[in-house]
Chains A and B, each alone.
Chain A
Amino acid sequence: MLSLRVVGGQCFMMLRIKQFLAMAGLTALEALRQPICFLLAVSGVVFIAALPLMIMHTFGEDGKQVRDGALAFHFVFGLFIAGHSAGTMLSREIRSGTASAVLSKPVGRELFFLSKFAGITAVIVLFSACAALATLLSERVAEKFYSTETLAGYLPDAVTGTMLICAPFAACFVAALVNYRFKRPFASTAFITLLLSLVLVLLVSGFFARTGRWMPYDFQVQWRILPVSILITMALIVLSGIALTISTRFETVPTMVFCSAIFLLGLMSDYVFGRFAGSSQLCGLLYAAVPNWQNFWTVDALAGGGTVPLKYVVSAGYYAAVYTAGILCLGMISFRHTEMK
Chain B
Amino acid sequence: MSDLAANPQVSPNTLAQLRLQYGLDQPLQKKYFSWLSNVAMGDLGFSFVYQRPIRELIAGRVWNTVLLNGIALGLAWIFGIAISLAAAEKRGLGWLANVASTLLVSTPTVLLALVLLALAIPLGLPVGGIGGLKHLILPVCAVSAVWLPVVIRHARAALDQALREPYITTARAKGVTRTRVLVHHALRNALNPLTALFGLSVSALLSASLPVEVIMGWPGIGQLTYDAVLKRDIFLVMDLAMVSALLLLAGNLLGDLLAYISDARLRQ
Indicate, yes or no, whether A interacts with B: no
Q: Which positions in B face A, CB cutoff 8 Å?
A: none
